[in-house]
């Protein structure tokens, strides 16, 4: 290959040779580990499927341009413009974006025949004349650009060392969930989270839009949901809601970063905000007060009332119409005040509504005990103490063809405290230190219960916000654990904590440069 003609051949297969060797400075005693000096290709997080370093690199300078290929593809142009914006911020260089691919600089190339990269992967080749990013899709080019960012300094211009990467994700679904119902978060705050997660190749944002404490999305046919039901949150604050235009704006912002939005309207439980907004939704015709506490499982839609189904049809129909992604999440968790037979009957109808509006159902794994519709995706949020019967029901659904998203509460719930020192957060699933969040294998996680690896669509890290009301608390709980999710979802594995914690520590200058609040876990060698 031209740009690597003079490669000296330091061969790094990060999934094997590098990450299986003890990291330099590693030590069994927590806190005693020293930061290692990692070469740029070794620092990448998530670790790429394969990378090779060697040869002369490319020096970014005042004359560097970003070339978006000969085809004039609008979407590739968009990827190039966004990458230029991101690199301008960090490097301070002008980085104009031009068409074509002849000449020095950063070259973005769509190549439908590119091998070993799948739909979202890419190849990156760096040599003295520039850096070439090749992918089958614009999404792959976007992810390549995020790797390129990591090969440059967190701030200031620099050199991309000579080398090449061939990369593709392990799982198609790599998600983060944000609960904007328990505490309201603005579109601007959520955009910042999208920026932060997409930098690590997380490709899905699941928005928990409704719960007992607040309804956060405007619905034209049912305006009091947002106007009244949005006006509360945990602890008695003012709450808030997004207009449909604000939601569309967020969805478009995420799409530009190749993040799909999966909206959730939780039902038949977790609905006090809706019941408080419309008396007619209650079996007794009386609206309850709005709720600002943190109990769960006390509210239910009125399963026997036909008006309930008009309601979910209109709400889900309006949401489907402004959601380009394929999924609608309908909750289905903790419906403790809905009898089991009613729950199953209700979920049958809710799933039919989702299908009729052209979307695929996602639901929390409690749906496994009812009748998941063909194609429905189940999101598992159990933990080490979850009863075997519950896991077996999930396994039966998986074996019947239902894809699983894994969000084990004692691994990936970002609202669990790290340890006894953590201020915000809960601990009902136990503490979740940084190592615990990362050091497991999604492919075999439920194997003992009979879930085949092929049923695992991916992983998602939920962040519930009963105790989290500010950007800084949100970030403190998410960072750095969300980077572990990113690596579990993307890298070929197996998890390798000694290697991972060194690479995680190497992200600190990037987190600092973006003013991200994060927990400096004592067993990560931050330096």
Catalytic residues, which ones?
334
Residue 509, Cβ neighbours under 10 Å: how many?
A: 13
Question: What is the C-alpha separation between 351 and 361, in angstroms, rounded?
Answer: 6
Residue 346, Cβ neighbours under 10 Å: how many?
A: 25
What does the per-residue mask of binding to ligand ACM show for 280-319, with x meaning CB under 6 A?
----------------------------------------
Rank residues 332 and 480 by Cβ distance to ligand ACM and give the closer one: 332
When asked if residue 381 is in the footprint of ligand ACM (CB under 6 A), the reply is yes
Question: What is the C-alpha separation between 492 and 153, in angstroms, rounded?
Answer: 25
Q: Output the smallest distance, CB 294 to ligand ACM, in A.
A: 12
SS3 (DSSP) at 433: coil
Q: Output the smallest distance, CB 413 to ligand ACM, in A.
A: 7
Rank residues 120 and 466 by Cβ distance to ligand ACM and give the closer one: 466
CA dihedral over 288, 294, 298, 300, signed as positive or negative: positive
Q: Of residues 446-485, which lie at the interface with ligand ACM (CB under 6 A)? A: none
Question: What is the C-alpha separation between 30 and 446, in angstroms, rounded?
Answer: 29
Rank residues 58 and 364 by Cβ distance to ligand ACM and give the closer one: 364
**Which residue number has the CB closest to ligand ACM?**
333
Rank residues 122 and 343 by Cβ distance to ligand ACM and give the closer one: 343
Which residue from 335, 283, 277 is spatially nearest to 305, judged by alpha carbons?
283
Q: Output the smallest distance, CB 126 to ligand ACM, in A.
A: 43
Question: What is the C-alpha separation between 210 and 276, in angstroms, rounded?
Answer: 13
Rank residues 175 and 492 by Cβ distance to ligand ACM and give the closer one: 175
386's tokens: 């979850």
352's tokens: 């039919």
143's tokens: 């992810």
SS3 (DSSP) at 294: coil
Q: Output the smallest distance, CB 364 to ligand ACM, in A.
A: 5
Strands 163-167 and 122-127: antiparallel
Phi then psi for residue 117, to 5 deg, are -120, -10
Q: Output the smallest distance, CB 118 to ligand ACM, in A.
A: 30
Q: Which of 333, 410, 466, 475 binds ligand ACM (CB under 6 A)?
A: 333
Q: Of residues 337-366, which lie at the interface with ligand ACM (CB under 6 A)? A: 364
Rank residues 197 and 429 by Cβ distance to ligand ACM and give the closer one: 429
Q: Output the smallest distance, CB 401 to ligand ACM, in A.
A: 22
Q: Are 182 and 466 in contact (CB under 8 A)?
A: yes
Q: Are 347 and 370 in contact (CB under 8 A)?
A: yes
Rank residues 155 and 427 by Cβ distance to ligand ACM and give the closer one: 427
Distances (CA, A) of 211 to 40, 164, 180, 261, 268: 44, 47, 9, 18, 10
Contacts for 286-292: CB closer than 8 Å, 24+ residues apart:
290/213, 290/228, 290/229, 290/231, 290/232, 291/212, 291/213, 291/232, 292/213, 292/232, 292/233, 292/234, 292/235, 292/236
Left (φ > 0), alpha (ψ -120 to 50) or beta: where does 482 sit? alpha
The site for ligand ACM, by CB under 6 A, has a size of 4
Q: Output the smallest distance, CB 321 to ligand ACM, in A.
A: 26
Rank residues 291 and 381 by Cβ distance to ligand ACM and give the closer one: 381
Q: Of residues 235-274, which lie at the interface with ligand ACM (CB under 6 A)? A: none
Question: What is the C-alpha separation between 436 and 451, in angstroms, rounded?
Answer: 21
Which residue from 195, 227, 3 is spatially nearest to 104, judged by alpha carbons?
3
Which residue from 199, 247, 129 is spatially nearest to 478, judged by alpha carbons?
199
Q: Which of 195, 249, 334, 439 binds ligand ACM (CB under 6 A)?
A: 334
Does 268 sit behind a cis peptide bond, omega within 30 degrees of 0 on the bond before it? yes
376's tokens: 């429905």
Q: Output the smallest distance, CB 40 to ligand ACM, in A.
A: 39
Question: What is the C-alpha separation between 145 and 147, in angstroms, rounded?
Answer: 5
Rank residues 408 and 492 by Cβ distance to ligand ACM and give the closer one: 408
One-letter-per-residue 3-state SS of 396-413: HHHHCCCCEEECCHHHHC
Rank residues 86 and 213 by Cβ distance to ligand ACM and give the closer one: 213
Question: 21-34 as b/e, with b when 16 or more CB fall inside 10 Å?
Answer: eebeebeeeeeebe
Q: Output the smallest distance, CB 259 to ligand ACM, in A.
A: 21
Q: Of residues 198-227, which lie at the interface with ligand ACM (CB under 6 A)? A: none
When asked if residue 445 is in the footprint of ligand ACM (CB under 6 A), the reply is no
Q: Output the smallest distance, CB 246 to ligand ACM, in A.
A: 25
Residue 63, Cβ neighbours under 10 Å: how many?
A: 12
Binding site for ligand ACM (CB under 6 A): 333-334, 364, 381
């Amino acid at each position: 290959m031209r740009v690597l003609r003079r490669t000296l051949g330091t061969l790094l297969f990060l999934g094997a040779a590098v990450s299986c060797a003890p990291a330099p400075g590693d030590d069994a005693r927590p806190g005693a580990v020293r930061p290692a000096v990692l070469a740029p290709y070794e620092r990448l997080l998530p670790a790429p499927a394969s990378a090779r370093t060697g040869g002369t690199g490319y020096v970014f300078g005042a004359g560097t341009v970003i070339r978006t290929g000969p085809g004039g593809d609008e979407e590739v142009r968009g990827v190039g413009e966004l990458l230029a914006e991101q690199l301008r911020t960090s490097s301070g260089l002008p980085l104009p974006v031009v068409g074509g691919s002849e000449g020095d600089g950063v070259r973005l190339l769509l190549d439908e025949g590119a091998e070993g990269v799948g739909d979202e992967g890419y190849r990156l080749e760096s040599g003295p004349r520039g850096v070439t990013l090749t992918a089958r899709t614009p999404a792959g080019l976007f992810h390549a650009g995020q790797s390129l960012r990591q090969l440059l300094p967190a701030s200031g211009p620099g050199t991309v060392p000579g080398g090449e990467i061939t990369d593709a994700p392990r799982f198609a679904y790599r998600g983060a969930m944000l609960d904007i119902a328990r505490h309201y978060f603005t579109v601007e705050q959520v955009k910042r989270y999208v920026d932060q997660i997409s930098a690590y190749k997380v490709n899905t944002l699941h928005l928990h839009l409704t719960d007992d404490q607040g309804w956060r999305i405007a619905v034209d046919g049912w305006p009091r949901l947002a106007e009244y039901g949005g006006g509360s949150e945990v602890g008695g604050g003012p709450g808030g809601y997004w207009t449909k235009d604000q939601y569309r704006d967020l969805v478009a912002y995420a799409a530009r970063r190749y993040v799909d939005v999966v909206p959730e309207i939780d039902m038949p439980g977790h609905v006090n905000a809706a019941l408080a907004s419309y008396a007619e939704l209650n079996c007794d015709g009386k609206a309850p007060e709005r709720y600002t506490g943190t109990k769960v499982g006390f509210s239910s839609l009125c399963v026997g009332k036909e008006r309930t189904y008009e309601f979910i049809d209109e709400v889900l129909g309006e949401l489907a119409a402004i959601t380009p992604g394929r999924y609608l999440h309908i909750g289905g968790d903790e419906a403790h005040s809905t009898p089991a037979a009613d729950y199953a009957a209700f979920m049958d109808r809710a799933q039919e509504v989702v299908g009729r509006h052209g979307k695929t159902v996602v639901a929390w794994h409690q749906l496994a005990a009812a009748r998941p519709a063909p194609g429905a995706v189940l999101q598992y949020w159990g933990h080490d103490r979850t009863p075997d019967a519950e896991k077996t029901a999930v396994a039966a659904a998986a074996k019947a063809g239902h894809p699983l998203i894994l969000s084990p509460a004692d691994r990936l719930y970002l609202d669990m405290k790290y340890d006894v020192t953590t201020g915000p957060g809960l601990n009902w699933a136990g503490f979740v230190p940084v190592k615990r969040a990362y050091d497991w294998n999604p492919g075999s996680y439920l194997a003992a219960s009979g879930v085949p690896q092929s049923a695992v669509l991916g992983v998602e890290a939920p962040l519930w916000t009963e105790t989290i009301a500010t950007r800084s608390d949100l970030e403190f709980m998410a960072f750095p654990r969300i980077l572990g999710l990113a690596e579990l979802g993307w890298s070929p594995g197996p998890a390798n904590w000694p290697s991972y914690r060194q690479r995680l520590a190497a992200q600190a200058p990037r987190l600092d440069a973006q003013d991200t609040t994060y927990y400096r876990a004592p067993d990560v060698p931050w330096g």
